[in-house]
Amino acid sequence: MIDRRGSKGRLGLTDKDNSPVKTQLQWGGRFGTGPAEVMQAINASISFDAKLWRQDIAGSQAHAAMLAKQGIITPADQAAIREGLEAIAAEIEAGTFHFSESLEDIHTNIEVRLTERIGEAARRLHTARSRNDQVATDFRLWVRNAIDGVLVQIHGLMKTLSERAVEHAATVMPGFTHLQTAQPVTFGHHLLAYVEMLARDAGRLKDARARLNECPLGSAALAGTSFPIDRFATAEALGFARPTANSLDSVSDRDFALEFLSALSICAMHLSRFSEEIIIWCSSPYKLIELSDAFTTGSSIMPQKRNPDAAELAKAKTGRIFGALIGLLTVMKGLPMAYAKDMQEDKEPVFDAVAAISLCLTAMDGMVRDMKANKDRMEALAGSGFSTATDLADWLVRVLKMPFRDAHHTTGQLVRLAEGKNCDLSELILSDMQSIEPRITAEIFEVLTVQASVASRTSYGGTAPINVAKQAAVWLESLA
């Protein structure tokens, strides 16, 4: 529970016998009175940064251990801090910890509670650090964990897509450019296209994780500290590769959050593109796939409707993630060195974006597992719109040794002829074709089926079923 009683509620926490415990403003020596109620409301961040409690406790444990090792605090103080923080973690896990808005943020809430539990030793914990480097460390730890979680989901979706690609390695469907029928492809090949996109998304997240994996703790407010701390020790204890190298940059950098949001935005864009294709494929004019009741909804007035709402909502949530990126870029664009309270606006958009992308990835994985391919409909549409015209042109080049531009022109004439006869290329009779190009033989009809078309596309990365099966197997092995 969060105490929202304003400045008059500063007696927010209670001790073991349930009597009020007075808390002290972090800057109380300089200020004689408390903030106005509206100032407290705009200043407090505990309503959202309570999410950082695990990271805050981990950072404090590492900091206290380092202080003791360096002789800055006593081993007894460090032991009391460790036990007190462990007890606070148990309280938060159990839901009995009282979060107070009057204490502003997660750092102060935990420190005040620690003081209640262990007394004077808790007041030594903040030696050689500031809330500036503390929050920068906590936030990096949270984003690092979030990246790991999103990567698990992306890899899961890649695996699901690869499994369905194996199933549909030879399922022919129309391939589109400009949303017009272009050439036949396989459904498995289409699904693997999104595996490639997601692999790039995963790569960007891994790159972002590597860059953020430096520890700001010990940079203090902005200038470092005069205490003989060991920043390498705290970095190692928290799983960072190294400490950050410049104290000013350490407390003012939010590039790691921006890069994370950028990677999430590109991933969301990929999911949105796939969502739009699912919506099109489900629509009555196409009917290439079906989704079950699990991922569709009905209409309040039209009883026949089955709406692909999971796909529509996954597409719409892209706006939230884009908005998070633009919002944080806007916050950061005018800030001088080093820390400014503007940066308090950094966490909520990141938290919201992670929740949105996680939900979208879960929904997409479910839809891919759920979708049923209408194979007959796919094959019928794959052969529409003269989709094998390129195969005809390739035959003219390969067999008749025509320059491709000449073959392209000849094929265009044959398409026009078929249009005039209201038939497909494969339905033209040989004499009709020979009226355009006398050297054409009956062999031409062997390349004008959709199955022959996809089977011929054996170039690396092509849609041939043998390629699709092989590439899907490669992905499944790498994702195992």
Which of 401, 204, 395, 368 lies closest to 274, judged by CA?
368
Residue 432 has which token pair? 């009709």
Which of 178, 226, 431, 459 is the catalytic position? 178
Q: Nearest CA to 160 among 467, 470, 354, 370?
A: 370
- Structure tokens given for 39: 């100032």
Strand partners, 314: none
The two beta strands, 242-243 and 289-290, are unpaired
Provide the token pair at 152.
């698990």
| Closest-CA residue to 109 (of 65, 47, 67) | 47
Give CA–CA dist 286/277, Å, rounded: 11
Is the Cβ–Cβ distance between 144 and 79 less than 8 Å? no
DSSP element (H, E) containing 473: helix 465-479
Residue 102 appears among annotated catalytic residues: no
Rounded-to-integer distance, Cα 63 and Cα 235, Å? 10
CB burial class (10 A; 0-12, 13-18, 19+) of residue 476?
middle
Q: Which residue in the list 283, 292, 299, 384 is annotated as catalytic?
A: 299
Q: Are 356 and 266 in contact (CB under 8 A)?
A: no
Describe the crossing of helices 255-282 and 131-167 by its angle, rounded to 10 degrees: 30
Question: Is 299 an annotated catalytic residue?
Answer: yes
Residues taking part in catalysis: 178, 299
